[in-house]
Amino acid sequence: MAKRVAVVSGGIGGLGTAICVALARMGCKVVAADLGGDAARVAAFESEVAGHDVAFAPLDVTDREACAALVDDVQQRHGSLDILVNAAGITRDATLRKMDGAQWDAVLAVNLDGVFNLTRPALVGMLARGFGRIVNISSVNGQTGQFGQANYAAAKAGMHGFTMSLAREVARKGVTVNSVSPGYCETAMVMAIPDGIRAGIVDQVPVGRLGKPEEIGRAVAFLAADDAGFITGANLPVNGGLFISF
């Protein structure tokens, strides 16, 4: 059988890179779609994924037309788009009293509108081919809320609402839709939290450490596998026990 073709938005980011590698190890052809403006960042990514079937494609997920064009291009080049991982995400942390409209808009545009912009065109081919795996990278903070993250938590909780709704719509068509909710991991996003605040958060993690990006990659690969077809509309928490719920 031909290799499954995967697109990972935010694919050159902290979690995105590990997700690309995990999917490539599983036997997929992977397109890492991410902002291309920072050449050094792209070069670092390319050396990290060297030896794997992973290619970079520039994409701003807030650009709806560019998302549709990327989907067309991937399907034309590779014949299919079977797995979509929506991992593009940013933070603009501030207490709501101090949060300005730009901080709200930027987070909602990337973290939530971006999911619509890329999933909508990708879904068309998945439904036509009768197979698809969509994995949305949400966050533990979408489940619990977090001080300073009204924008981010709203977007991340919104992603899971999207997941549950779309899962119902496409369940009969061979397409599954799930969320992964990472906790605090070793990424630049988490390292940008002031040291004292971050240390206080790690103290509350039962496993006693930050997560490794590969531990998120493993969860995504599990849900994206061909034989994960009976798991849909689910949220898989990967948070070191920070939020344990039924």
Select from 96, 128, 197, 199 the one that contacts ligand CAA (CB under 6 A). 197
Q: Is 215 in the site for ligand CAA (CB under 6 A)?
A: no
Per the annotation, the verdict on 152 as an active-site residue is yes
Q: Among 240, 243, 180, which residue's Cα sits nearest to residue 210?
A: 240
- The residue whose two tokens read 């499954």 is 4
For ligand CAA, which residue of 49, 59, 140, 166 counts as binding (CB under 6 A)?
140
Q: Does 179 help bind ligand CAA (rule: CB under 6 A)? A: no
CA-to-CA distance for 69 and 172, rounded, in angstroms? Answer: 27
Helix pair angle (150-170, 101-108), 10° resolution: 30
Does 184 interact with ligand CAA (rule: CB under 6 A)?
A: yes
**Min dist. Cβ of residue 24 to ligand CAA (A):** 24
Q: What residues numbered 26-55 form the site for ligand CAA, per CB under 6 A? A: none
Please tell me whether residue 148 binds ligand CAA under the rule CB under 6 A: yes
User: Does 130 engage in binding with ligand CAA (CB under 6 A)?
Assistant: no
Within 8 A by CB and 6+ apart from 45, the residues are 11, 12, 17, 32, 34, 56
Q: Which of 18, 21, 155, 190 binds ligand CAA (CB under 6 A)?
A: 190
- 82 scored as a contact of ligand CAA (CB under 6 A): no
| Between 39 and 188, CB nearer to ligand CAA | 188
By the 8 A CB rule, do 84 and 135 touch?
yes
Terminal alpha carbon distance of the chain: 38
* Beta-carbon count within 10 A of 183 CB: 25
Question: Rounded to whole angstroms, what are the CA distances from 135 to 27, 144, 203, 230?
Answer: 17, 20, 29, 14
Q: Which of 45, 104, 152, 162 binds ligand CAA (CB under 6 A)?
A: 152
List residues with catalytic annotation: 152
Which residues contact ligand CAA by CB under 6 A? Answer: 91, 93-95, 98, 139-141, 146-149, 152, 182-184, 189-190, 193-194, 197
